Structures are given as structure tokens and as C-alpha cells.
Amino acid sequence: MTQRILALHLGLIGLLFVLQFVLPPYHHDNIARIMVMAAYAMGYNLMFGYTGLLSLGHAMFFAAGMYGMGLSMQHAGFAAEAALAVGITAGFGLALGVGLLALRTTGVAFMIVTLMFAQALFLAILYFGPFTRGDEGFVIPLSARIFAGLRLSDPTIRYFAALALFALVLLAMLWLIRHPVGRVLIAIRENEERTRMLGYDTWRHKLFAVTASGTISGTAGAVYGLLFGYVGASFAEVPYSIFPLLWVLLGGAGTLVGPFIGTLFMFYLIDLASGVTDAYMLVVGVALLLLTLFAPRGIMGMLRERWLPWLP
């Protein structure tokens, strides 16, 4: 069973590696973006899919990592390596702070608190416009996007950097959910009261889930800014908190590969629909509605329920 699970995930990484050599430029760039966003979605999935904590403000962690990285390069002259560390630290620090405060609430109140924190960060970005460049954002120069001697603006290097992030997060998540801590998180999702009665400190485990989830999302934000050379307030807006929720629901909440499948599906659904009609969001909405009706557990969730019960 363990070998089969490991083979599945290594096989996905291997497939993405091979695709680098055969994809045309347009799809090559798209898949690189999808892999980074899938890492973001996997961070969200840890909190929502595995722990049962529904956040409506996850864009704040993605934006914290992106702005931590970008502003340190823009105003402090940091090299890419140091700037990435700043971005990851910013995501971790914000996630820890939000977790300590937001976990004083539960249910709908938790959702609202995370949304309010995210809106506060977005408004702060706009308020400090002279420093952050507001909703206009800023471009990271090509000369600054060099990491360990590698030019991240090069499509091949950018693709492999995105693949490295995706593979690292995927394998780390695989290890975590099979670790006792991951099992406790799943138990909290299923029945927190019973988990507490068994002697587990559910609050500390939920704080770990929020902090780890925010750190992964912040790392994805920092890497996205480095790879694609842009930092903007739009990444802190509400849609970027809703997107990972949709990606996870489409692919399958509480499944490892689900966030990638959901991100891939929705990205190309929007891309194809926008090429046919200006009302592409209507097409997307109908497709999402049908998928929700006929596969309520998502694509991978349906596969696990019907044919592949061993999927993690």
C-alpha cells in the first residue's frame, strides 16, 4: 500500500518533469504557474481538507510571502536567496499571529475572522501605497531574479523551480498525513470533541495546522513573485482566498493530489471558456455546478470513494 501511494506521487512528479521537454511555450508557462498555485492550494488543503478549518482569508498568507520577498528586494536590496527567506518568514509570522487570535473562535466566527484579517492586510497594502505601490504593484527586475546563480526568468529554470516547490510540498504533505500528527488533524476534522476526550491537545494541533498552512502558502507567494517577476495587491484580494477553496473542492478536499487536479482543471476551464465567450464565468459556473452535483467529493475524492480507496 505504501509503495503504491509513493509510486503514484513520484509518478506525478516524474510526469511533470517529462512534460518540460515536450510542452509548447504557452502550456509550458501555464503548467509552471499551476504548480506554484497547486502548492498554495495544498497549503490551504492542510487547514481545510485535513483539519476542517474553513478559512476565507488565505490570500493574506500568499500575499505576505510575496510582499515580504518583493519589498525586501525593492527597498533593502536583498538578493533573491535572502528575500525568499524573508518571504517565508513573513508567511510563518503572520500565520502564527493569526492562528493565536483566530483560534479563539470556531465555526462561522473563524471564517469571518480570517476574512477580516485578510481585508486588513489588503487595505494596509493600499494605505501604504508609497511603500508598496498600492494596487499598481511593482515589477522585480530581471537582474534581481537570480537564485543560486540560476536566472529565474529563463523558462526552463523557472519550470524546474516551480516543479521543485511542488514536489517538496507534495512529499512533505504525504509524510505529514501519515505521521501521527497528521492522523490527529484528521481526527479533529472528523470529531474534535472525541479527539479531545482521547487526551490530545486539539488547540495546539489546530495552531500547528494554521501555522504550517500559512507558511506553505506564504512560500508559494514568495516563489510566485520571484518566478514571474510581479508583486501586486490583487493577490491579497478576496478572489485569491476563494480560488484555493474552489481548487481544493474541485480536486477533492482531504486528498493529496486533489489540489493539483483542481487547480489544473479550473485554470484551463477559464482559459478555454474565455477564448469562446466573454461570459466565460457563466460557463465556469455551470461546469462547477455540475461537478458539485455529480462529484460532491471532488474529482480525486470520487475516485477514492468508488475505485481507489487506498488514495491518501
Tens digit of each residue's pLDDT (9 = 90 or more) over 238-259: 999 999 999 999 999 999 999 9
pTM of the model: 0.96
For the four alpha carbons of 86, 92, 94 and 97, in that order, the dihedral sign comes to negative
Question: What's the pLDDT band for 284 if we cut at 50, 70, 90?
Answer: confident
Residues in CB range of 184: below 8 A, 6 or more apart: 195, 200, 202, 205
Report the share of the chain in percent with pLDDT over 90: 87
Q: What is the pLDDT of residue 287?
A: 83
Q: Which helix (H) or strand (E) holds 151?
A: strand 150-151
Average of per-residue pLDDT across 157-163: 98
Q: For residue 308, what pLDDT is reported?
A: 84
Q: Which of 62-71, 161-170, 216-225, 269-278 has the lowest mean pLDDT?
A: 269-278
Query: How high is the pLDDT of residue 283?
Result: 84
User: In this model, does residue 217 exceed pLDDT 70?
Assistant: yes
- Is the pLDDT confidence value at 156 over 60? yes
Half-sphere exposure of 111 (CA within 13 A, CB side): 9
Contacts of 281 (CB under 8 A, 6+ apart): 270, 273
pLDDT at 31: 98
Report the chain's terminal Cα–Cα distance, integer Å: 10
Q: Are 242 and 44 in contact (CB under 8 A)?
A: no
pLDDT of residue 285: 84
Domain coordinates in residue numbering, the chain:
2-238
pLDDT of residue 1: 53
Q: What is the pLDDT of residue 171?
A: 97
Strand partners, 150: 147
Q: Measure the CA–CA gap between 136 and 237, rounded to whole angstroms.
A: 13
Question: Does the pLDDT at position 263 exceed 80?
Answer: yes
The arithmetic mean of pLDDT across residues 263-281, rounded, is 90
pLDDT in tens, 173-212: 999 999 999 999 999 999 999 999 999 999 999 999 999 9
Residues 6+ apart with CB under 8 A from 120: none
